[in-house]
Chains A and B, each alone.
Chain A
Amino acid sequence: MTGSPSRARRYVLLLVLLCGFAVVLFRLVSLQVLQAAELTAKADRQHQKTVSLEGARGTVMDRHGKVLAMNMEVPSVFGIPTALESPAKTARSLSPVLRVRTDELEKKLRQDRSFVWLARKLDPEQGHRLEHMPMDGIGLVMEGRRFYPKGPLLAHVLGFAGMDGEGLEGIERRYESQLHGEKRGVGLQRDAMGRTVFPKGQAEQVPAAGHSLVVTIDEVIQYIAEKELEEAVAKARAKSGTVIVLDPQTGAVLALAISPRFDPNAVASLTADRWRNRALTDTYEPGSTMKALVAAAALEENVMKPNTMLFGENGRMTIANTVIHDHEKLGWMTFAQVIQKSSNIGAAKTGMALGDQRLYRYLQAFGFGQKTEIDLPGEVGGLVKHPREWGRRSLASISMGQEIGVTPIQMVSAVAALANGGVLMKPYVVSEVRDAQGKPLRQMLPQVKRRVVSPETARTVTSILEGVVTDGTGAKAAIPGFRVAGKTGTAQKIDPRTGAYSSTLFVGSFVGFVPADNPRLAMIVVIDEPQGEAWGGTVAAPVFRRVGEQVLNYLGVSSAEPVKLAMASNRR
């Protein structure tokens, strides 16, 4: 009865199964216990990767919310040379889309590397074309690229961001800490189909976008200023030009135009000279525009009154063995006429009546020799020497705008103080910081720096400066229907070859405000090295008029002229 064949078969089957299970068990122990650490690490490497992600850079908007700079995701193209069958064929196909020469692409694709960039941050239109031409060994990744949709408009203020998204110039640089998105390393996983996904719970950890900025600039006023400045610089065949428009009551910059312009979307081929914000970085001798401020100091200190009589020395006066000239032979004139006719001799006598210490104190009070602290990078403080460094002629020279270096932003801020009843405001360009959802985080309010002269003095100087436009050298700045106050300036530049004042290189300027009785705009126009006629009243004053006229109309500021009732009756 023992040893039946069926029983023997059962034992054999059992043994086989036991052996099988033993093999499986051994394999399981090997995988799960003996090689556990090594295999887990290998799986992690295959399914997970940590990448550094950066939130989108914040948007920059003008005072009415118009977009001036924003980020957009655009494709960058890479190649995997080891996975390519025919680098030459691939290069030929990609060349017209990437706008890169075929031989350059082929050279990159023939490299003995596993990854190579072919083109970064393309235009969206190029990306759309690439999506429709799938190629093995070529891939796309999306990267944030900075766009300046208005092109050259406001470029010198906005500045620009680099290839890696960091602010390099202008507001982009000054407000880098606000604008840049959060940077964070995020662990990603690949799903069964090889796509990259955020592991559960990490989707909410996408780095936050940067803050947005609202600037005080009005894009329409900026456009008007840039257009008129470009035309004036071209007409005068000048080297460069600057226009700044301020709200005198707040110090808010409404426009800041520099000529020549540049496009921040394409800065690769440009030099720093082109994108430098000359309104803050370049100093110039202001010439006669300084007389407006010397007049304010003299009136405030009671050393002059508008009707004080001064003798013009028939256009020629010797000081410290040097001769000061006027542009015409002037005799006796009132102090107001000294400013209106822009008499150098009258200004020199005013400065001498003030004395060096008082003049120096007012130069400092108006903000010369120190930065205005405008929220833009690269500002310089200008050059104002201490009286102990002055020569025998310095008092006279400074009073007529020589021996002193100022920036256009300093000069317009100082004159804006006269328009603001004698109170100097801090100029600023960013008015608000908002989060990515548009919620206000911080508002920049106007900041008073100091009172420089009394309201009464400011009114008296305004009245004198109105005379400059109605009866003096600034006639071409007159805006029909509005009371304009301002001062012209024509300064000789120092010839870098000789170190002496040049007889051919000038800076023509006009600085003023309008309407004089209730100022809405303070503006400076500086034209550097105009060819031909270089008087500030000829090259800069007309720009003031054209910009002022259009901006007042745009802002809906009423004319001082009464409207005739007959017109209304003609209306049907």
Chain B
Amino acid sequence: MKMLAVTIGLCLVFVFVWERVDMVRLGYQVERLKHEKVVLERERDELKVKFSALSSPDRIAKVATEKFGMSLPQPGQVVMVQSKTKDSPASAVELRIARNDVLNGRR
């Protein structure tokens, strides 16, 4: 009986100490994860800025013209066609076609 009481007492002490140690360990883990979150947020912001810079119209126009040889459509090359369907007589849909592409059969 005495032995059992001592064992239970020791177990309780062990659980108490283990709980305390684990709390400290988890505390450090929480801090580490918080730090990781901050680092990841910083990386996200950095990528946002890079994405925004790379998708700038200035840069896209430069790449399109200098790298891919594209150019702005000349006057008359783009016409807006109002498509009238049975379902939408009010012509809600607009279709863009390039005039020279249509005439040359290139799409």
Are B56 and A570 in contact, CB atoms less than 8 angstroms apart?
no
Are B58 and A571 in contact, CB atoms less than 8 angstroms apart?
no
Are A556 and B80 in contact, CB atoms less than 8 angstroms apart?
yes
Distance in Å: Cβ of B32 to nearest Cβ of chain A: 10
Asked if B3 lies at the interface with its beta carbon under 8 angstroms from chain A, I say no
Distance in Å: Cβ of B22 to nearest Cβ of chain A: 16
Beyond the given pairs A70-B45, A72-B49, A73-B45, 9 more chain A to chain B contacts, judged by CB atoms under 8 angstroms and listed by A's residue number, are A66-B52, A67-B52, A73-B42, A223-B58, A553-B78, A556-B80, A558-B80, A563-B81, A567-B97
Partner of B49, one of A149, A561, A567: A149
14 residue pairs of the A-B complex, CB under 8 angstroms, read A68-B52, A70-B49, A73-B42, A142-B42, A149-B53, A150-B52, A150-B56, A223-B57, A227-B61, A481-B76, A553-B73, A556-B94, A568-B81, A571-B97
Cβ contacts under 8 Å, A481 to chain B: 76, 79
Distance in Å: Cβ of A68 to nearest Cβ of chain B: 8
Residue total for B at the interface (Cβ-Cβ under 8 A): 34
Are B45 and A151 in contact, CB atoms less than 8 angstroms apart?
no
Given A124-B46, A191-B31, A558-B82, CB of A66 within 8 Å of CB of B55: yes
Cβ contacts under 8 Å, B82 to chain A: 558
Asked if B4 lies at the interface with its beta carbon under 8 angstroms from chain A, I say no
Cβ contacts under 8 Å, B80 to chain A: 556-559, 563
A531-572: which residues lie under 8 A (CB-CB) from chain B? 549-550, 553, 556-559, 561, 563, 567-568, 570-572
Instruction: Kindly count the residue-residue contacts between A and B in the assembled complex, taking CB atoms under 8 Å apart.
Output: 85
Residues 325-341 of A, flagged 1 when their CB comes within 8 A of B and 0 if not, give 00000000000000000
Which of B50, B58, B72 gathers the greatest number of chain A CB atoms within 10 Å? B58
Asked if B105 lies at the interface with its beta carbon under 8 angstroms from chain A, I say yes
What is the bound-complex CA distance between A220 and B45, given in angstroms?
A: 23
A residues in contact (CB < 8 Å) with B:
66-68, 70-73, 124, 142, 147, 149-151, 153, 191, 195, 197, 203, 219-220, 222-223, 227, 480-481, 549-550, 553, 556-559, 561, 563, 567-568, 570-572
Distance in Å: Cβ of A193 to nearest Cβ of chain B: 8
Cβ contacts under 8 Å, B48 to chain A: 67, 70
Cβ contacts under 8 Å, B52 to chain A: 66-68, 70, 149-150
Are B57 and A220 in contact, CB atoms less than 8 angstroms apart?
yes
A556 — nearest CB in chain B belongs to which residue? B94
What is the bound-complex CA distance between A71 and B49, given in angstroms?
A: 9
Partner of A480, one of B55, B76, B97, B107: B76
Cβ contacts under 8 Å, B103 to chain A: 567, 570
Asked if B90 lies at the interface with its beta carbon under 8 angstroms from chain A, I say no
Partner of B57, one of A124, A203, A219, A553: A219
Are A563 and B79 in contact, CB atoms less than 8 angstroms apart?
yes
Cβ contacts under 8 Å, A68 to chain B: 52
What is the bound-complex CA distance between A553 and B76, given in angstroms?
A: 11
B30-86: which residues lie under 8 A (CB-CB) from chain A? 31, 34, 42, 45-46, 48-53, 55-58, 61, 72-73, 75-76, 78-82
A193 — nearest CB in chain B belongs to which residue? B28
What is the bound-complex CA distance between A227 and B56, given in angstroms?
A: 13
Asked if B2 lies at the interface with its beta carbon under 8 angstroms from chain A, I say no
A546 — nearest CB in chain B belongs to which residue? B72
Partner of A556, one of B28, B53, B58, B96: B96
Given A556-B94, A557-B80, CB of A72 within 8 Å of CB of B45: yes
Which of B31, B57, B78 gathers the greatest number of chain A CB atoms within 10 Å? B57
Cβ contacts under 8 Å, B81 to chain A: 563, 568
What is the bound-complex CA distance between A539 and B31, given in angstroms?
A: 63
Given A558-B80, A571-B102, CB of A151 within 8 Å of CB of B58: yes
Cβ contacts under 8 Å, A66 to chain B: 52, 55
Asked if B20 lies at the interface with its beta carbon under 8 angstroms from chain A, I say no
What is the bound-complex CA distance between A509 and B20, given in angstroms?
A: 78
Cβ contacts under 8 Å, B105 to chain A: 570, 572
Are B99 and A147 in contact, CB atoms less than 8 angstroms apart?
no
Are A558 and B72 in contact, CB atoms less than 8 angstroms apart?
no
What is the bound-complex CA distance between A70 and B50, given in angstroms?
A: 11
Cβ contacts under 8 Å, A480 to chain B: 75-76
Distance in Å: Cβ of A531 to nearest Cβ of chain B: 27
Distance in Å: Cβ of B86 to nearest Cβ of chain A: 17
Are B94 and A558 in contact, CB atoms less than 8 angstroms apart?
yes
Are A147 and B49 in contact, CB atoms less than 8 angstroms apart?
yes
Cβ contacts under 8 Å, A124 to chain B: 46
